[in-house]
Structure 1
Amino acid sequence: MSSLPASTLPIINIAPFLRNDQPELRISTSAALHVACMKYGFFYLDISAYANPSETAKLTTLAREFFMLPQDEKDKISLSNEDHARGYARLKENVTNGKADNHEGIDFYKPVDNPDKSKPVWGENQWPEKPIEFKERFNDWVEKMKALGLILMEAMADGLGMTTNEWEELRSQVDDSFWVMRTIGYPPLPNDHDGFSCGAHKDYGCLTFLHADPTPSALQVFLRQPGAIGIDSARFPTEQGNEQGVWINADPIPGCVVCNIGEMWEIWTNGLYRSTLHRVVHRGSNYRVSIPFFFEPNFSANVKPLAAALRIQAEEDVEATGRPLVHRTPVVYGDFLLSKVGNNFSGSKGRYDN
């Protein structure tokens, strides 16, 4: 892990987990992941040894070509055609905390058996007919990110000190990931827009791998680090409640994806790892494109505190910290997902509303 200022996210290279002949580097990488997940909940994941930059460049080009199509062409794959979760959402159709987000996007989910568009998230994915290569290239990326999810999960399991059997049990909870992929387009934020490009939220799943075009000063992450030097966000309200810290920019770094943990990791680690608020404020003059991939647990996964995390917490001096060990409530991931995405389906709330 790079030695960086407190107001900068750490960079972690996944390369040692792509081969089996570097045990010492694997140990240091898993240790760095453990620290990053406890301290930040966000980090840059260097995947330059895993993915060719030409792959992500092509995805960005295809996404941009789609968003530049006439509105009626994009509307052919509208969310309303399916389950209100899979498909295209118009500009400001997505809502966060009661305010329309200034972006448009396409959502894809893991294909399901016996699809039924009357049920939330249980419809069929809608792929654009234009650009021609869109479906093929993005499906390839899905497979690559699913594999990366398992690689990173193993590295994180090592960081927690999990036994082989414990890792196999955790792996069985994510080996049929109910993944989600979004392709998002962000026009410049209008000065009079009562909201954000994407409002502050925490991801509710497992791991997020975000590829974005080179646009700087757009993605912002809230660091719980009083005294760190933050960005000027005077135009926007305080969204982190009583938590002390600052908003920093998480600008793209070549060869890296921005990675963050979701609320399922909070449960798995009994609060040792914490999901982190983030938002998008795109004030630039260009049209920004980002492609987040959400590596999630299996739909039927019973997510509960892991023994390895409880061992770490039990080693703390409870009397000194004054924090009794309280177990987080287990959840079935599919039920948790529906409680979130079902809000979109009803049309009454947004996916990230509290």
Structure 2
Amino acid sequence: MEPKAENRYVQEEEGLGWGKSLPVPSVQEIVRNDSQIVPEKYIQERKDRPTLDSEFSPNSSEIPVINFSLLANGDEDELGKLDFACKEWGFFQIINHGVPQKVLDNMKAAVAAFYELPLEEKKKYAMAENDLQGYGQGYVVSEEQKLDWGDLIFLMTLPPEIRIFKHWPLTSPGFKEAVENYSAEMQKLSDELAAKLSLLMGMDKDGLKKLYGEMKQAMRLNYYPACSRPDLVLGVSAHSDASALTLLLQDDEFTALQIRHKGTWVPVKPIPNALVVNIGDVAEAWSNGVYKSIEHRAVTNVNKARMSIATFMMPNEELEIGPLESMMDDKHRPKLYRKIKSTGFVRSGIS
């Protein structure tokens, strides 16, 4: 019997107006039917094909690592590391973040259980025609478009009233509880990061919250099947995030995330139980370009499927986003971005 959604979580189902994505075949099913086939639609143009982990030098640069416990307790050195990471990399990993191991494990297990469901069961949670929430593949706008080697389920998770439970696989045991617990932990981390960014951008610690209120939260639960030709495909094509901040829980077993740094692709080597954080387009606009929203992508693996969980923090879509007064100076740092509604960022992509 399907669990009933609590009344306070029910929302009108007219969609969020973020555009739509054309339905495409499940990559997981393509691989199940023939693990050696790579359809032409998934083969990237030569210029876009991935750099595999084996091709990187052992001396490849590594993104900054920040001790979140020290940062949250006001350590000035760690705050300086955050400032450096946002300016020079746009990405960093956080350790000692305080998220209970059980919450991480349960979230990973919930995602794995969803993708083990039969295809017909997963299709019950397919993306609506006028929305990007649900199961499928996002931002497919053309029949000629090159496709990513992966499936996803995209959910709005906070505040609770924007959840649309018809897209949540509530029949999968433990799914709702795992997502809610993980969502709450990501909210705590993002609130603390927003407070530190407020300080770095010349405001008091509640500066961003006062200006933009509580952030909305969305999650993208990704499944990247193994691929017989990982040199030809991408799990996620190169993009920057339309969020303010993104927090990513990676698979610890192999390196798949790559970021563009100084003109080259740099692998983000997983640290067990760490979270990867990146600056999104909204935060770049807030900082007047001082902090960088960086292009990134994901590669696939020949032997093993991979999962990841991306959590996006976004302002209300009706709010105007632009450079903060504290980040502008007529002489040395003129205004570089015009104000636009947050919806304009969201429609450019959450991947």
Same fold (TM over 0.5): yes
Match of 1:13 in 2: 67
When structure 1 is superposed on structure 2, of 125-134 and 140-149 the one drifting more is 125-134
For 1:114 and 1:155, locate their aligned partners in 2 and report how far apart those are by CA, in whole Å. Answer: 28
Match of 2:151 in 1: 104
Whether 2:343 is the aligned partner of 1:296: answer no
Q: CA deviation at 1:123?
A: 5.7
Whether 2:329 is the aligned partner of 1:329: answer no
Whether 2:320 is the aligned partner of 1:271: answer no
AA at the equivalent of 1:79: M
Sort the Cα spacing of 1:70 and 1:273 in 2 relative to 1 into closer, same or farther, 3 A.
Answer: same
Sort the Cα spacing of 1:193 and 1:247 in 2 relative to 1 into closer, same or farther, 3 A.
Answer: closer
CA RMSD of aligned residues (A): 2.7
Q: Which runs of 5+ in 1 are unaligned?
A: 116-121, 225-244, 317-323, 342-350
AA at the equivalent of 1:208: T
AA at the equivalent of 2:68: I
Whether 2:226 is the aligned partner of 1:178: answer no
| SS of aligned partner of 1:100 | coil
| Aligned partner of 2:134 among 74, 82, 87 | 87
Task: State the number of aligned residues.
Answer: 291
Q: CA deviation at 1:335?
A: 4.0
Sort the Cα spacing of 1:146 and 1:125 in 2 relative to 1 into closer, same or farther, 3 A.
Answer: farther
Give CA deviations for 1:276-307 in whole Å, capped at 9, x if unaligned.
Answer: 11101112411101001011123333222112
Contact (CA 8 Å) 1:200, 1:278: kept in 2 or not? Answer: yes
For 1:49 and 1:186, locate their aligned partners in 2 and report how far apart those are by CA, in whole Å. Answer: 26
| Aligned partner of 1:307 among 325, 335, 338 | 325
For 1:9 and 1:112, locate their aligned partners in 2 and report how far apart those are by CA, in whole Å. Answer: 31
Sort the Cα spacing of 1:59 and 1:96 in 2 relative to 1 into closer, same or farther, 3 A.
Answer: farther
Counting aligned pairs with the same residue, the percent is 25
Give CA deviations for 1:24-48 in whole Å, capped at 9, x if unaligned.
Answer: x1x22221111111100011012x3
Contact (CA 8 Å) 1:189, 1:197: kept in 2 or not? Answer: no
AA at the equivalent of 2:193: L
| Aligned partner of 2:108 among 53, 60, 76 | 60
Q: CA deviation at 1:168?
A: 3.3
| SS of aligned partner of 1:340 | coil
| SS of aligned partner of 2:135 | strand
| Aligned partner of 1:163 among 203, 214, 224 | 203
Contact (CA 8 Å) 2:258, 2:298: kept in 1 or not? Answer: yes
Whether 2:126 is the aligned partner of 1:78: answer yes
Sort the Cα spacing of 1:155 and 1:99 in 2 relative to 1 into closer, same or farther, 3 A.
Answer: same
Sort the Cα spacing of 1:16 and 1:300 in 2 relative to 1 into closer, same or farther, 3 A.
Answer: farther
Match of 2:98 in 1: 50
Whether 2:186 is the aligned partner of 1:145: answer yes
For 2:111 and 2:159, locate their aligned partners in 1 and report how far apart those are by CA, in whole Å. Answer: 24
For 1:259 and 1:149, locate their aligned partners in 2 and report how far apart those are by CA, in whole Å. Answer: 9
For 1:64 and 1:179, locate their aligned partners in 2 and report how far apart those are by CA, in whole Å. Answer: 21
Correspondence list, 1:111-130, <5 A: 126-130=167-171
Contact (CA 8 Å) 1:59, 1:138: kept in 2 or not? Answer: yes
AA at the equivalent of 1:74: K
Contact (CA 8 Å) 1:103, 1:198: kept in 2 or not? Answer: yes
Contact (CA 8 Å) 2:230, 2:301: kept in 1 or not? Answer: no
Q: CA deviation at 1:174?
A: 4.3
For 1:131 and 1:326, locate their aligned partners in 2 and report how far apart those are by CA, in whole Å. Answer: 49
Give CA deviations for 1:43-87 in whole Å, capped at 9, x if unaligned.
Answer: 1012x341122221221122112111110011111113x643111
Contact (CA 8 Å) 1:99, 1:195: kept in 2 or not? Answer: no
Match of 1:321 in 2: none
Q: Which runs of 5+ in 2 are unaligned?
A: 1-58
| SS of aligned partner of 2:270 | coil
For 1:301 and 1:204, locate their aligned partners in 2 and report how far apart those are by CA, in whole Å. Answer: 14
Match of 2:6 in 1: none
Sort the Cα spacing of 1:18 and 1:217 in 2 relative to 1 into closer, same or farther, 3 A.
Answer: closer
AA at the equivalent of 2:175: F
For 1:195 and 1:6, locate their aligned partners in 2 and report how far apart those are by CA, in whole Å. Answer: 22
Contact (CA 8 Å) 1:108, 1:125: kept in 2 or not? Answer: no
Give CA deviations for 1:79-99 in whole Å, capped at 9, x if unaligned.
Answer: 13x643111116xx6549932
For 1:248 and 1:18, locate their aligned partners in 2 and report how far apart those are by CA, in whole Å. Answer: 28
| SS of aligned partner of 2:254 | coil
Contact (CA 8 Å) 1:202, 1:262: kept in 2 or not? Answer: yes
Contact (CA 8 Å) 2:321, 2:339: kept in 1 or not? Answer: yes
| Aligned partner of 1:201 among 239, 256, 280 | 239
Sort the Cα spacing of 1:174 and 1:141 in 2 relative to 1 into closer, same or farther, 3 A.
Answer: farther
Q: CA deviation at 1:273?
A: 1.1
Q: CA deviation at 1:147?
A: 1.9
